[in-house]
Amino acid sequence: MFRIGHGYDIHRTVHGRPLILGGVRFESDFGLDGHSDADCLTHAICDALLGAAGLPDIGHYFPNTDPAWKNADSQLLLRRVIAELKSRGFAPVNLDATLIAERPKIAPHLAAMKAALAASTGLAPDAIGLKATTNEGVGDLGRGLALAAQAVALIRII
Ligand code: MG
Protein backbone atom coordinates (compact mmCIF):
# COMPACT_ATOMS: atom_id res chain seq x y z
CA MET A 1 0.00 0.00 0.00
CA PHE A 2 1.49 3.27 -1.16
CA ARG A 3 0.55 6.92 -0.80
CA ILE A 4 1.83 9.95 -2.68
CA GLY A 5 2.26 13.55 -1.56
CA HIS A 6 3.24 16.87 -3.08
CA GLY A 7 5.03 19.86 -1.54
CA TYR A 8 5.83 23.40 -2.64
CA ASP A 9 7.82 26.15 -0.96
CA ILE A 10 9.21 29.56 -1.81
CA HIS A 11 11.54 31.91 0.07
CA ARG A 12 12.68 35.43 -0.79
CA THR A 13 16.35 35.97 -1.52
CA VAL A 14 18.15 38.31 0.86
CA HIS A 15 21.67 39.46 1.58
CA GLY A 16 23.36 38.60 4.85
CA ARG A 17 22.06 35.06 5.30
CA PRO A 18 23.67 31.80 4.22
CA LEU A 19 22.21 29.93 1.25
CA ILE A 20 21.34 26.39 2.32
CA LEU A 21 19.63 24.01 -0.08
CA GLY A 22 19.06 20.34 0.53
CA GLY A 23 21.12 20.59 3.69
CA VAL A 24 24.17 21.93 1.87
CA ARG A 25 25.62 25.40 2.34
CA PHE A 26 26.40 27.06 -1.00
CA GLU A 27 29.01 29.68 -1.73
CA SER A 28 26.67 32.55 -2.58
CA ASP A 29 26.32 36.33 -2.38
CA PHE A 30 22.71 35.90 -1.27
CA GLY A 31 20.73 33.68 1.06
CA LEU A 32 17.08 33.00 1.76
CA ASP A 33 14.86 34.84 4.20
CA GLY A 34 12.92 32.79 6.71
CA HIS A 35 12.49 31.82 10.33
CA SER A 36 14.53 28.62 10.05
CA ASP A 37 17.53 28.22 7.74
CA ALA A 38 14.97 28.79 4.92
CA ASP A 39 16.01 25.67 2.99
CA CYS A 40 13.07 25.74 0.58
CA LEU A 41 14.07 22.48 -1.09
CA THR A 42 13.99 20.57 2.20
CA HIS A 43 10.75 22.31 3.21
CA ALA A 44 9.06 21.18 -0.01
CA ILE A 45 10.23 17.63 0.70
CA CYS A 46 8.87 17.83 4.26
CA ASP A 47 5.50 18.96 2.96
CA ALA A 48 5.41 16.21 0.34
CA LEU A 49 6.07 13.59 3.02
CA LEU A 50 3.50 15.07 5.42
CA GLY A 51 0.98 15.38 2.61
CA ALA A 52 1.43 11.76 1.62
CA ALA A 53 0.55 10.77 5.19
CA GLY A 54 -2.48 13.08 5.22
CA LEU A 55 -0.88 15.19 7.93
CA PRO A 56 -0.83 18.98 8.36
CA ASP A 57 1.92 21.01 6.68
CA ILE A 58 5.33 22.03 7.95
CA GLY A 59 3.99 25.29 9.37
CA HIS A 60 1.80 23.30 11.74
CA TYR A 61 4.69 21.30 13.15
CA PHE A 62 7.32 24.06 13.11
CA PRO A 63 5.51 27.41 13.38
CA ASN A 64 7.52 30.51 12.51
CA THR A 65 6.31 32.03 15.76
CA ASP A 66 8.21 29.41 17.79
CA PRO A 67 11.69 30.58 18.87
CA ALA A 68 12.77 26.92 18.95
CA TRP A 69 12.91 26.96 15.13
CA LYS A 70 14.74 30.28 14.77
CA ASN A 71 17.60 29.63 12.31
CA ALA A 72 16.88 25.91 12.71
CA ASP A 73 18.69 23.38 10.55
CA SER A 74 15.96 22.11 8.22
CA GLN A 75 17.55 18.66 8.22
CA LEU A 76 16.43 18.48 11.85
CA LEU A 77 12.90 19.34 10.70
CA LEU A 78 13.09 16.64 8.04
CA ARG A 79 14.27 14.09 10.61
CA ARG A 80 11.31 15.03 12.81
CA VAL A 81 8.94 14.62 9.86
CA ILE A 82 10.32 11.13 9.19
CA ALA A 83 9.88 10.29 12.89
CA GLU A 84 6.30 11.59 12.81
CA LEU A 85 5.54 9.42 9.79
CA LYS A 86 7.13 6.40 11.44
CA SER A 87 5.03 6.93 14.57
CA ARG A 88 1.94 6.77 12.34
CA GLY A 89 3.06 3.63 10.54
CA PHE A 90 4.59 5.11 7.38
CA ALA A 91 8.05 4.93 5.82
CA PRO A 92 9.38 6.88 2.82
CA VAL A 93 9.98 5.02 -0.45
CA ASN A 94 11.39 7.70 -2.71
CA LEU A 95 11.47 11.45 -3.25
CA ASP A 96 11.75 13.63 -6.32
CA ALA A 97 12.29 17.38 -6.06
CA THR A 98 12.89 20.32 -8.38
CA LEU A 99 14.52 23.58 -7.38
CA ILE A 100 13.41 26.63 -9.38
CA ALA A 101 16.24 29.13 -9.30
CA GLU A 102 18.09 31.33 -11.79
CA ARG A 103 21.19 30.57 -9.78
CA PRO A 104 23.18 29.00 -8.25
CA LYS A 105 23.99 25.93 -10.31
CA ILE A 106 23.28 22.90 -8.17
CA ALA A 107 25.04 20.28 -10.28
CA PRO A 108 28.35 20.56 -8.38
CA HIS A 109 26.48 20.01 -5.11
CA LEU A 110 24.03 17.29 -6.16
CA ALA A 111 25.91 14.41 -4.56
CA ALA A 112 26.32 16.30 -1.28
CA MET A 113 22.66 17.28 -1.24
CA LYS A 114 21.55 13.72 -1.90
CA ALA A 115 23.85 12.49 0.84
CA ALA A 116 22.45 14.99 3.33
CA LEU A 117 18.84 14.19 2.44
CA ALA A 118 19.59 10.46 2.51
CA ALA A 119 21.06 10.80 5.99
CA SER A 120 17.99 12.69 7.22
CA THR A 121 15.40 10.38 5.66
CA GLY A 122 17.09 6.98 5.89
CA LEU A 123 16.64 6.60 2.13
CA ALA A 124 19.36 5.47 -0.24
CA PRO A 125 20.76 8.38 -2.28
CA ASP A 126 19.44 6.75 -5.47
CA ALA A 127 15.92 6.94 -4.03
CA ILE A 128 16.19 10.73 -4.07
CA GLY A 129 15.71 12.61 -7.34
CA LEU A 130 17.06 16.16 -7.42
CA LYS A 131 17.15 18.62 -10.26
CA ALA A 132 16.98 22.32 -10.92
CA THR A 133 15.51 24.55 -13.57
CA THR A 134 15.65 28.28 -14.10
CA ASN A 135 12.41 30.21 -14.50
CA GLU A 136 13.68 31.47 -17.90
CA GLY A 137 13.90 34.99 -16.52
CA VAL A 138 10.14 35.15 -16.12
CA GLY A 139 8.53 36.85 -13.14
CA ASP A 140 9.93 37.29 -9.65
CA LEU A 141 11.63 33.88 -9.65
CA GLY A 142 13.23 34.79 -12.97
CA ARG A 143 14.52 38.04 -11.53
CA GLY A 144 16.05 36.17 -8.63
CA LEU A 145 13.79 37.70 -5.99
CA ALA A 146 13.01 34.26 -4.60
CA LEU A 147 13.87 30.58 -4.87
CA ALA A 148 11.15 27.94 -5.02
CA ALA A 149 11.00 24.17 -4.88
CA GLN A 150 8.50 21.45 -5.62
CA ALA A 151 8.67 17.86 -4.42
CA VAL A 152 6.76 14.63 -4.53
CA ALA A 153 7.13 11.80 -2.07
CA LEU A 154 6.01 8.21 -2.12
CA ILE A 155 5.51 6.54 1.24
CA ARG A 156 4.44 3.05 2.21
CA ILE A 157 2.48 1.64 5.10
CA ILE A 158 4.94 -0.19 7.34
MG1 MG B 1 9.73 27.26 3.93
Q: How far is the CA of 90 from the centre of ligand 1 (A)?
A: 23
| Ion ligand 1 residue ranges (Cβ < 5 Å) | 9, 43
CATH of 2-157, one of 3.30.1330.50, 3.40.50.10310, 3.60.15.10, 3.10.20.740: 3.30.1330.50
CB 99 within 8 A of CB 149: yes
Its pTM surpasses 0.95:
yes
pLDDT by residue, tens only, the chain of 158 residues: 999 999 999 999 999 999 999 999 999 999 999 999 999 999 999 999 999 999 999 999 999 999 999 999 999 999 999 999 999 999 999 999 999 999 999 999 999 999 999 999 999 999 999 999 999 999 999 999 999 999 999 999 99
- Ligand 1 centroid to 88 CA: how many Å? 23
Q: Which amino acid is at 19?
A: L
